[in-house]
Structure 1
Amino acid sequence: MYLGRFIIIGETTAVYRVSSRSYPNRQIISRDNMLTVVPTSEAAQTNNPYVSYNCMRQGGEKIVIGNGSHVDPIAEKIDRGYPARDALAEALLALDYEKDDYNTPRIAGIVGSSSYVGIIRQDAVIIRSISEPTLVSTYENDAPTTAQLSLKGDIEEIAQKAYELEYEHPVCAAAVTHQGQGESGDIVAQIYNGK
């Protein structure tokens, strides 16, 4: 099954995975306290605005994760004091689904004292509070559903397991968590760019 990009949001941990048929030569890098999806050195030149973006960023004491440029305004709204749910909903509504050949949905999640997952598709906007690991993807599972991946344990192992989930065309993955007590703990991220 091809899910495209997907996120799994838990109470203290989140996962992001890029799966791609069109632009497989990408990787996740760490820069300026955020994680960014970028083309590899082997990638063909493209002016597609949806190929490179920040996929994980801190907003206040929360972790914001998503499949595009909407990650930045969500984090910025949280930095300005917006409630997490409102920041998620406003940014998704403002940027809408991607205007590419597939009308790709935008997916995002927030990990914090209250964790949320959201998606905006051509036909719907869904924002949900979560209490168990929840997956949403750009294709197939385009509504929040219970994840089949445990978000407990070693963050490096979680990132690798996310990459290895049996969904087609894996490209790269990352996992991020609060280590310590709740939101006051350090944010730790791990990238897995394949074998």
Structure 2
Amino acid sequence: MTYTGRTLGIGLMNGKPFAFYLLCSRSFPRRRALVRENAVYIENLTETDNPYVSYPVVRLLDNYAVVTNGLQTEFIAQALEWESPKKALIHVLDALDYERDGYNTPRIAGIIGTTEKGWLGFAGRDEFWVKELELKEGKAFVTATYNLGFEELDLPPFENAGELAERVMKLPFERKVLAIGVVKKEQDWRIGISP
């Protein structure tokens, strides 16, 4: 199995956009996801002065859902108030760049909206890209902080955000801690967390 660190995917199931976040961790496996109104936060449960292990991971807006592996979540959500998803990702990821930790951890980010279009971004020490993507039924476009690059995965069918999170926890990656699923449902976004 591969260690991917933080993994992020966007896709389409039953004609509805979805996004997921999979937290895998070697150093800080004691973490949980907390839902607060229109946002989800990763909370670290191990004492540390590392500023990168607790962060906003999901932010839900009327027309967009933002999923990332760091504080860029809030900045991207703010940028979406005045610019396109592609430009929001380019500007925020370029400004913040990769995390200045011992691993030079890349920043990753994804945005889904109310159409069959999605956006993924990656800001590493030696690599930077932002992609605008036509989402495909039953597929997920995926990136991760380590050892994955940009991939397209098949996902088994799911009916809701909770089932999406459960499917993601079964992906063949090492040191899985938790998964978060976000699915567009009628006029609302739905969040599911596993375990």
Tell me the SS of whatever aligns to 1:147.
strand
Identity of aligned residues (%): 33
Whether 2:14 is the aligned partner of 1:7: answer no
127-136 vs 101-110, which moves further: 127-136
Tell me the SS of whatever aligns to 1:13.
strand
Name 2:178's counterpart in structure 1.
172
One-letter identity of the residue aligned with 2:76: I
Name 2:147's counterpart in structure 1.
140
Whether 2:85 is the aligned partner of 1:72: answer no
Which runs of 5 or more residues in structure 2 are unaligned? none
Q: Displacement, 1:153? A: 2.5
CA distance in 2, matches of 1:68, 1:60: 21
Q: Displacement, 1:60? A: 4.4
CA distance in 2, matches of 1:110, 1:151: 21
Whether 2:167 is the aligned partner of 1:161: answer yes
Query: Residue 122 and residue 151 in structure 1: after superposition, are their counterparts in 2 closer, same or farther (change >3 A)?
Result: farther
Contact 2:20-2:179 at 8 Å conserved across structures: yes
TM-score (norm 1): 0.89
CA distance in 1, matches of 2:124, 2:61: 24
CA distance in 2, matches of 1:60, 1:87: 16
CA distance in 1, matches of 2:52, 2:191: 23
* 1:100-115 equivalences in 2 (<5 Å): 100-112=101-113, 113=115, 114-115=117-118
CA distance in 2, matches of 1:134, 1:10: 6
Task: State the superposition RMSD in angstroms.
Answer: 1.4
61-70 vs 145-154, which moves further: 145-154
Q: Which deviations, in whole Å up to 9, do the C-alpha atoms of 1:118-162 show, x marking residues without a partner?
A: 101111211112223201000001x22102324653221110111
Name 2:124's counterpart in structure 1.
121
Which runs of 5 or more residues in structure 1 are unaligned? none
CA distance in 2, matches of 1:176, 1:44: 26
Query: Which structure's residues are more often strand, by fraction?
Result: 2
CA distance in 2, matches of 1:118, 1:135: 10
CA distance in 2, matches of 1:2, 1:93: 25
